[in-house]
Structure 1
């Protein structure tokens, strides 16, 4: 290899080392390809460093703090409970995040993936330039997988600075704010709002839609709304945020509801109104890659763009911005490059909100099934009838199966309650495998377990419930 004015040759190059990129690189290497991965900032991407993982760490810390404050129902009395938030943040950063990111670096090295630091720009469909603080280098490649992820949307009147934070800033506060305002009651806003409320903050959530968590069904969201009410969280729906005014030691958010001007003051305001794909500074247009009006990359069922040598996965492609979607698409793209007859199939793509209680959904809702012409029905089993949920004192929630009436094939499922994020996996497998309710009902579930509620729901769908 010669550096300078000559291009270095790469077989498969992956741009971005998040949950899409690093998975694509490892799978491509496993398929026998010589792989390099280009990353300008975080190994592990937003998810591992300033997204999914650290937010779940704060959520867990909030739960532990609340359990320590109040477990009298179990006969456990505590005194003098204090929160050392600096220690919480140190644990999050140096034991959770650091452990996972160093693990990803090890996996890349183990699979002989070359890591190239810098920003990548396409020159044409087989050439790119990588620029860092020290140098610039040209590379020629056979195939490229673009996995550059997304960034928070900055809305007018809420420039990210000072006391106006994006989700990254919200995760890295040095202290628990006395009053926290959150713009956007979607998954990120609801999760972090609940976490900071558990840690002792007074939280206000402003959401433009008629309900928080608009991507989940109303009966699921009602459980979170009740939990928020119990925590003292103020939720304002149909609220249109107008401006943030920095007062020096506080920030005032001006907003409107039904045309009426209102305002609320807090220590910080965190804006979580969606994410923008990181496609605007890659030179994809120069390479001839077709994009949507929103800056998303158009791809086929293998993640291939209209340029046969360039693939795209994750948040920069149409569909939900989910880390596990990116990882799934990563494997498809890497295997497609290797010539495998694979295709993307989203019918069993789960979505989870790590709220109190947790919400999870996979496949179709009953409404969606009917809109697609399926003769289907939903069957709902309350966790109040589950022994493990009762012993955990977490009876709020339910499991719902959506099955076809003719042969009870499972086409969708929703879980609200303790363990929903884990229980949804069994139901995703059932949909992926084309199982019916009888297959679930005949599967022996351990006792006592939350997963028994899945079996109970399947028996309900068959008309033979035991625990109802």
Structure 2
């Protein structure tokens, strides 16, 4: 007789409520059969048996809370991976030989980031059999090393900033201190919770998740890990292998004092000073985070301005905030080398206007973009071509590659390296795999940047319109004229709309100010659907909200702003 012990729940869940019990005394069960329905914060799922045999006693009741390590039932049988000899059990606790398995499926997806796992779920919704392959952690860079953990840091930074100003709101908070270990711990908990949720969704949709590195030969994908040696034959393959942080090819780029955007998310202490190489989105987000945490921050940017892809009025607001906060900016500056001082601090050498400069900081963050993971699988074996610049996989509007049964999505295509773009590309790719005719539309892709004040843009910006020779007009409403922004003491920034007064269409929009990353979505559908802006004048927005600034900017298109003249 053996006891069936609860060894695992969905993802990293530790406790669950017992729902319907699926076994009874005398029932013969085998590995993979359901034992009971479980309910947790992650949703409902079935706990499955790892044993073969006959149930002797059921030790759980419906409605009870059960946790990992507790007994479910007693069974006359054995665990599926145990070996028995002449009735005497000999247990193998060493590393078992990987089980060879041939798998056939409709769609195999290589990479479990925001492109890959969303594609897998959409494929399952459409009735496909799906295998999802991930060599590291489910959720990819976005969940584990990028968007989500960074925003957890942003929340800590913003909260600390707000508490520093609490006396203005009549609150005396006393002396405050930062605990970087707790900040990192909370970040890890957020990541873990979201990872659990994805694993639950994969289980819910019966998606087979295989952990390991994919090797391809012609139309076969090979995966080998400690438990499985699999050969996968798929009707269609989706490549979603993502990207990795880039490093400048300069002396000292690999010194221990040089971090990437992934390394910095696991800080054990707050650096007293830091030099950030790169004033793009990632570099500037960390500039504000670390400034809030108390670091002396210096940013060195190669182009004419920080956030150089954005319009000048947006750059001006962010630059002014940097000056007020004491963030030092060096633009039109080329980093030449990184070296160590006698006391092991980082010396960053850069040239600007023909002169050589030196910056000393406790550490360096290299934030100079990302490179597509093109070497993670053998593209030649799949017959997949690169784009003209050889920096991404070549795809068409259906996300198909030069091999019509292979698709590519996300950063590995080097189109627009944003998580939500990868997710939608995954949906487009899957729908085409399943016989639909879906195309990727890049005309209204919103972008969110979590600097201070935060900003969001969608559609055309002024720089693009000028480059393309597209005529436009502007309507702009400042947050200093918005009631909620004033009551929050957060009045920097504006809502700006680019519009065509001939066709009555909104061409693009930018929001910089309180809640900008959420407010920008108000414009996405208006631009994508080419809505006639004259039909929007009677749309009612709640008061008092920052969204009223969106309404005022729309009214301003026809010269009808109410609260600004």
Q: Which one of 207, 218, 231 corresponds to residue 301 of structure 2?
A: 207
Q: Which residue of 1 aligns with 2:68?
A: none
The SS at the match of 1:119 is coil
Q: For the Cα contact (< 8 Å) 2:101–2:228, is it kept in 1?
A: no
CA apart distance, 1:297: 0.5
Q: For the Cα contact (< 8 Å) 2:100–2:229, is it kept in 1?
A: no
Residue 221 of structure 2 is aligned to residue 128 of structure 1: yes
Greater Cα offset, 155-164 or 377-386: 155-164
Q: Which residue of 2 aligns with 1:279?
A: 374
Q: Distance in 2 between matches of 1:254 and 1:389?
A: 42
Q: Which residue of 2 aligns with 1:415?
A: 511
Q: For the Cα contact (< 8 Å) 2:300–2:329, is it kept in 1?
A: yes
Q: Which one of 131, 150, 172 corresponds to residue 243 of structure 2?
A: 150
Residue 368 of structure 2 is aligned to residue 270 of structure 1: no
CA apart distance, 1:249: 3.6
Label 1:392 to 1:439 Cα distance change in 2 as closer, same or farther (>3 A): farther
Q: Which residue of 1 aligns with 2:277?
A: 183
After superposition, the CA RMSD in angstroms is 1.6
Q: Distance in 2 between matches of 1:162 and 1:346?
A: 39
Q: Distance in 1 between matches of 2:505 and 2:309?
A: 24
Greater Cα offset, 241-250 or 286-295: 241-250
Q: Distance in 2 between matches of 1:210 and 1:442?
A: 42
CA apart distance, 1:298: 0.5
Residue 471 of structure 2 is aligned to residue 375 of structure 1: yes
Q: Which residue of 1 aligns with 2:398?
A: 302
> Post-superposition, which runs of at least 4 consecutive aligned residues in structure 1 deviate over 6 A?
3-6
The SS at the match of 1:299 is coil
Residue 428 of structure 2 is aligned to residue 428 of structure 1: no
Q: For the Cα contact (< 8 Å) 2:311–2:463, is it kept in 1?
A: no
Q: For the Cα contact (< 8 Å) 1:438–1:458, is it kept in 2?
A: no
Q: Which residue of 1 aligns with 2:36?
A: none
Q: Which residue of 1 aligns with 2:173?
A: 78
CA apart distance, 1:71: 2.1
Label 1:410 to 1:35 Cα distance change in 2 as closer, same or farther (>3 A): same
The SS at the match of 1:241 is strand
Q: Distance in 1 between matches of 2:197 and 2:257?
A: 34
The SS at the match of 2:262 is helix
Give unmatched runs, 5+ long, in structure 1.
none
Label 1:134 to 1:165 Cα distance change in 2 as closer, same or farther (>3 A): farther
Label 1:128 to 1:329 Cα distance change in 2 as closer, same or farther (>3 A): same
The SS at the match of 1:285 is helix
Q: Which residue of 1 aligns with 2:107?
A: 12
Alignment of 1:160-239 (within 5 A): 160-239=254-333
Q: Distance in 2 between matches of 1:320 and 1:99?
A: 27
The SS at the match of 1:11 is strand
CA apart distance, 1:72: 2.3
CA apart distance, 1:58: 0.6
Residue 186 of structure 2 is aligned to residue 91 of structure 1: yes
CA apart distance, 1:375: 3.5
CA apart distance, 1:134: 6.2
Q: For the Cα contact (< 8 Å) 1:245–1:251, is it kept in 2?
A: yes
Q: Distance in 1 between matches of 2:254 and 2:487?
A: 44
Task: Give the structure with the higher percent strand.
Answer: 2
TM-score normalised by length of structure 1: 0.96
Q: Distance in 2 between matches of 1:388 and 1:269?
A: 39
Q: Distance in 1 between matches of 2:290 and 2:99?
A: 51
CA apart distance, 1:133: 5.6
CA apart distance, 1:101: 1.0
Q: Distance in 2 between matches of 1:5 and 1:198?
A: 53
CA apart distance, 1:319: 1.8
Q: Distance in 2 between matches of 1:97 and 1:43?
A: 10
CA apart distance, 1:441: 2.5
Greater Cα offset, 364-373 or 304-313: 364-373
Q: Distance in 1 between matches of 2:137 and 2:150?
A: 16
Q: Which residue of 2 aligns with 1:57?
A: 152
Greater Cα offset, 129-138 or 453-462: 129-138
Q: Which one of 468, 480, 487 corresponds to residue 384 of structure 1?
A: 480
Q: Which residue of 2 aligns with 1:243?
A: 337
1:240-272 residue CA offsets vs partner (Å, 9 max, x unmatched): 111111345421111111231111111110101
CA apart distance, 1:177: 0.7
CA apart distance, 1:366: 3.6
1:117-142 residue CA offsets vs partner (Å, 9 max, x unmatched): 11112211x21222446664322111
Greater Cα offset, 253-262 or 36-45: 253-262
Q: Distance in 2 between matches of 1:136 and 1:350?
A: 42
Q: How many residues align?
A: 464
Larger CA Rg, structure 1 vs 2: 2
Q: Which residue of 1 aligns with 2:125?
A: 30
CA apart distance, 1:228: 1.1
Q: For the Cα contact (< 8 Å) 1:315–1:322, is it kept in 2?
A: yes
1:67-96 residue CA offsets vs partner (Å, 9 max, x unmatched): 2222222222221111111111111112x1
Q: Distance in 2 between matches of 1:416 and 1:158?
A: 37
Residue 164 of structure 2 is aligned to residue 69 of structure 1: yes
CA apart distance, 1:237: 0.5
Q: Distance in 2 between matches of 1:102 and 1:160?
A: 34
Q: Distance in 1 between matches of 2:327 and 2:214?
A: 43
Alignment of 1:289-328 (within 5 A): 289-292=384-387, 293-328=389-424
CA apart distance, 1:372: 4.0
Which structure is higher in RCO with an 8 Å CA cutoff and minimum separation 6?
1
Task: Give the structure with the higher percent helix.
Answer: 1
The SS at the match of 1:195 is helix
